[in-house]
Structure 1
Amino acid sequence: MIFWGITDKGKLRPNNEDAFFMPDNNEEPLVFIVADGMGGHNGGEIASRIAVDEISSYLYNKKEKLYKEDEIKELIKEAFYFANKKILEKSYSDSECLGMGTTSTVAVIVQKKLFVGHLGDCRLYIIRNQNINQITKDHSLVWELMEQGKINFEEMKLHPMKHIITKALGIEEFSDPDILKVYLEKGDVILICSDGLTSMLSDLEIKDVVEKNKDPEEICKELVNFANEKGGYDNITVVTIIIDY
């Protein structure tokens, strides 16, 4: 398995409120996280950093349990709850962070299975057999409108309320994250990204970049450059994982 991650503040934002985490070796279980912060004077970047630090620490401190499916799912849920608590504590103790929050998508890979925890609109895709599949569902107002048949997928990108998130870390009325499982196949490409990428590029454009490159570092760099060329309106974070076994 080979992987790479990159984050960029984009062309318009003064700072980068995204954060990501990836392992420093190839030893399973492997944990990957992308978080997109929001709110406060500089609260967004603090919230996203707390999320990736606390979730990764929580999972790796209990990594001996990350081989049993029921325990993996429960641990991911617990890690989100723990991170939510830490973000709230920081928000209450620092007036400049009041109201901060973050979206987050977490991937745990073990024994050719992918477990995903998800809150918000960071996305996880799998590119397999020349098809791109969005595994996560956006927790956003426009996604709900699409599911209700009031707008279509393409209209979501142009909708004036496209940035309204319905679930996130850092709020009192915390909701359980979505927990998903996918069986992996050799050749799968897993892509985890913030909405700074998906607001600029279509799924087809993302797939084309992935299929042109065999190196995860090149995929990440080209996707970020492409999003910036198209405007770079938001921070952009991409983590790419290639399953080569």
Structure 2
Amino acid sequence: MKTANRSDIGRIRLVNEDRAWAELTAGGIGVAIVADGMGGHQAGDVASQLAVDTFREVMSSVSGELTLEAAKTLLRQAILQANEVVYELASQNDHYHNMGTTVVAAMLLQDSGVVGHIGDSRAYKLRQGELCQLTEDHTLVNELAKSGQISAEEAASHPRRNVLTRALGTDREVEVDIKGFSWKEDDLLLLCSDGLYSMVSDEEMRLTLLESELDLDGRAERLIEQALHAGGEDNVTVLLVHSDSGEGQEG
């Protein structure tokens, strides 16, 4: 497994509230997470960091092989534990009132993977030149689009497209969407904050990920550059995981 992790504050924001982390566990399981924080008084970066730290702590205890169902259960538990940690701090400290974060996380086994998410950070899988979105945004605009009240074109430019219907840490109880998917050699997983896909189209992302002259780090850098060139209106984070039989890790 190879990984590349890149993040940029963007051209408008004063603080980078995105956080990301990826690692291959001692048991040979790939784990990765991207969190996009929100909240006043710079609380967003606290929420996203707490979520990543909690997730990392849970995943550090993983050893040996897991079944797909066991991985789904563990991923859900890790995200719910992060929700509890963020919610408790926000509840006990006025400085962090109402802080929260999106989260998208994945566990990669030998021939399958699991993705879990809350909010509008996304996971995509590239296989044989085709880019497939694995997650579904928890946003007001996505709900309107699903119910047919607005078109996909209207959703892309809707003034309330950033309004979340679900976030980590804002409520004591939260629902996590968990999804299994197949995972083969040479597959590429992209986890990203909305600062990427709101600026860069799926087709542009697909073409960049297919650029064979760029290594994994180079492709992550290129995606960041494209988001900045398009306006960089938000923090932008890109985490790539490549299913590679060779040893070593980038990023």
What corresponds to 2:236 in structure 1? 236
CA contact (8 A) 1:168 1:174 kept: no
What corresponds to 1:87 in structure 2? 86
Secondary structure of 1:163's match?
Answer: coil
Query: Percent of pairs identical after alignment?
Result: 35
Secondary structure of 1:99's match?
Answer: coil
Q: Partner amino acid for 2:86? A: I
Specify every segment of 5 or more residues in structure 2 that has no aligned partner in the other structure, as ranges.
246-251
Q: Partner amino acid for 1:238? A: V
Structure 1 distance, partners of 2:85, 2:182, is 32
For residues 95-148 of structure 1, the C-alpha deviation after alignment (integer angstroms, 9 at most, x for no partner) is 211100000001101112111111111000011122111000101111111111
CA contact (8 A) 1:42 1:96 kept: no
Structure 2 distance, partners of 1:53, 1:148, is 36
Cα distance, 1:65–1:180 mapped onto 2, change above 3 Å: farther
Q: Partner amino acid for 1:99? A: N
What corresponds to 2:197 in structure 1? 198
CA contact (8 A) 2:24 2:31 kept: no
Structure 1 distance, partners of 2:70, 2:126, is 27
For residues 5-59 of structure 1, the C-alpha deviation after alignment (integer angstroms, 9 at most, x for no partner) is 0111000000100000111678611210000000121110000000011012112
Secondary structure of 1:75's match?
Answer: helix
Q: Partner amino acid for 1:87? A: V
25-34 or 161-170, which deviates more: 25-34
CA contact (8 A) 1:66 1:72 kept: no
For residues 159-187 of structure 1, the C-alpha deviation after alignment (integer angstroms, 9 at most, x for no partner) is 01101111111122532211111111222
Instruction: Compute the RMSD of aligned alpha carbons.
Output: 1.6
Q: How many pairs are equivalent? A: 244
Structure 2 distance, partners of 1:146, 1:185, is 32
Structure 2 distance, partners of 1:242, 1:193, is 15
What corresponds to 1:149 in structure 2? 148
What corresponds to 1:176 in structure 2? 175
What corresponds to 1:4 in structure 2? 4
Secondary structure of 2:3's match?
Answer: strand
Specify every segment of 5 or more residues in structure 1 that has no aligned partner in the other structure, as ranges.
none
